[in-house]
């Protein structure tokens, strides 16, 4: 009887251990349903520790219980590996997309003029797509983000330059139109004056945009003709505008005109120059309208003067 009692107590202990292990198996199986797999992994590791701390069940049950528990644990670890593999795959997909967007953006950096301006919508779309990308590989993400940001900044700089160039072009077109008119008004071109004037009008008609008062200044120049001033007076007027532009833009004046520059500076000081001064670009633009109003000078003289004048802009 004593032996039976001892055997009964031992069997009860084994059964208690078996019940504990069955409970651990059930808990491990439920963890597989947890959406937060990281928390589930942490929980199953605690269950594994409890399993080790729990004594054995009957030999005929122990192996089956262990297989069931291990299978439940393995399922969780396999799920974690699958998620890790999927995450790595997503990183590679995002990296490939980022590189494609970067290549596309670099292509836009090679554009100029109208094509560059038209690409602004596509660049905005690239920015939006890049921002919507998921995580990037840790070792490459920061570099890709830096390269993309720098490319965006370079594109913005090119657009700003293009906008400035377009602003400047309207003034250059005005000077070109004035030059066409000048040619038609030169005494040596009297025989071809009509065709030269027609060429000037054709050029003017072909320009889509003029600065404020620019077209009016050209029409007045055409109407006025060569005017009553002499070529020498016209040359002096153009030199005066060159010198004013050189002073304003802090550029040197040719040695032959330094005396005239001194006169211009003295005159401007006497007139209180700077009291109500316009900003540099506004004043330079106003000088172009003055330039247009000046009568004709010979081409050999004009070319050097207009180059000086344009260089100051």
pLDDT digits (tens, 9 = 90+) for 191-204: 999 999 999 999 99
Residue 160 lies in a domain: no
**How many domains, the chain?**
2
84 and 212 together in one domain: no
Of 244, 247, 229, whose CA–CA distance to 293 is shortest?
A: 229
Looking at every residue in the chain, the average pLDDT score rounds to 92
Residue 26 tokens, joined: 């059930």
**Contact yes or no for 248/280 (Cβ under 8 A):** yes
**Whether residue 13 is found in the same domain as residue 84:** yes
Determine, yes or no, domain membership for 204: yes
Q: Are residues 131 and 172 in the same domain?
A: no
Q: How far apart are CA 60 and CA 164, in angstroms?
A: 88
Q: Does one domain contain both 108 and 186?
A: no
Residues 88 and 221 occupy one common structural domain: no
My answer on whether 31 and 96 are in the same domain is yes
Q: How many CB atoms lie within 10 A of CB 92?
A: 12
Choosing from 116, 137, 158, the residue where a domain stops is 137
Helix axis angle, 120-131 to 59-108, nearest 10°: 160
Asked, for residue 97, whether it belongs to a domain, the answer is yes
Domain assignment present for residue 128? The answer is yes
pTM score, whole prediction: 0.61
Do 175 and 133 share a domain, yes or no? no
Residue 60 banded pLDDT, cuts 50, 70, 90: confident
Does residue 263 form part of some domain?
yes
The Cα–Cα gap between 82 and 101 comes to 28
Residues 6+ apart with CB under 8 A from 120: 159
What are the tens digits of pLDDT across the range 80-119? 887 787 888 888 889 999 999 999 999 999 999 999 999 9
173 with 298, same domain: the answer is yes
> Same domain, yes or no, for 170 and 133?
no
Q: What is the dihedral of CA 294, 298, 304, 305, to 10 degrees?
A: -10
Of 218, 213, 260, nearest to 241 by C-alpha is 260
Q: Residue 294 has what DSSP assignment? A: S
Do the beta carbons of residue 244 and residue 264 sit within 8 Å?
yes
Nearest Cα residue to 298 out of 218, 192, 182, 217: 182
Report, as an integer, the average pLDDT of 24-39.
Answer: 85
Domain boundary among the residues 82, 117, 137 is at: 137
CA–CA gap between residue 183 and residue 193 (Å, rounded)? 8
Residue 146 lies in a domain: no
Q: What does the alpha-carbon distance between residue 210 and residue 131 come to, in Å, rounded to a whole number?
A: 40
- Least confident among 16-25, 79-88, 119-128: 79-88
Are 1 and 129 in the same domain?
Answer: yes
In a domain, 152, yes or no: no
CA distance 87 to 81: 10
- Is the model's pLDDT at 38 over the cut of 60? yes
Q: How confident is the model at residue 272 (pLDDT cuts 50, 70, 90)?
A: low
Q: What is the mean pLDDT of residues 12-31?
A: 91
Last residue of a domain, one of 95, 119, 137: 137
> Are 96 and 215 in the same domain?
no
Phi first, then psi, for residue 254 (nearest 5°) are -55, 150
Q: Is residue 143 in a domain?
A: no
Domain that holds residue 227: 166-311
DSSP state of 279: P
Report CA torsion sign: 293, 294, 299, 302: negative
């Amino acid at each position: 009887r004593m032996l039976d009692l001892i055997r009964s107590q031992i069997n009860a202990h084994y059964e208690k251990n078996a019940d504990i292990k069955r409970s651990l198996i059930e808990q491990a199986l439920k963890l597989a349903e947890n959406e937060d797999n990281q928390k589930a992994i942490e929980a199953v590791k605690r269950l594994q520790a409890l399993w080790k701390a729990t004594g054995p069940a009957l030999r005929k049950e122990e192996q089956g219980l262990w297989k069931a528990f291990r299978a439940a644990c393995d399922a969780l670890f396999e799920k974690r590996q699958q998620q890790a593999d999927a995450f790595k795959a997503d990183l590679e997909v995002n990296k490939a997309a980022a590189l494609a967007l970067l290549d596309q953006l670099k292509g836009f950096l090679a554009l100029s003029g109208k094509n560059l301006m038209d690409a602004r919508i596509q660049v905005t779309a690239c920015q939006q797509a890049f921002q919507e990308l998921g995580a990037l590989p840790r070792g490459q993400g920061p570099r890709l983000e830096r390269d993309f940001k720098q490319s965006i900044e370079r594109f913005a700089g090119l657009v700003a330059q293009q906008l400035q160039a377009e602003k400047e072009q309207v003034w250059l077109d005005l000077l070109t139109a004035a030059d066409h008119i000048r040619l038609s008004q030169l005494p040596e071109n009297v025989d071809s004056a009509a065709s030269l004037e027609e060429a000037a009008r054709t050029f003017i008609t072909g320009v889509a945009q003029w600065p404020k008062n620019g077209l009016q200044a050209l029409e007045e120049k055409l109407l006025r003709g060569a005017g009553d001033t002499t070529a020498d007076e016209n040359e002096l007027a153009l030199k005066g505008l060159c010198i004013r532009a050189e002073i304003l833009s802090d550029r040197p004046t040719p040695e032959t005109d330094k005396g005239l520059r001194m006169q211009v500076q003295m005159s401007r000081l006497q007139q209180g120059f700077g009291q109500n001064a316009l900003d540099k670009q506004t004043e330079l633009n106003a000088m172009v309208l003055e330039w247009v109003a000046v009568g004709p000078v010979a081409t050999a003289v004009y070319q050097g003067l207009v180059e000086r004048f344009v260089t100051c802009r």
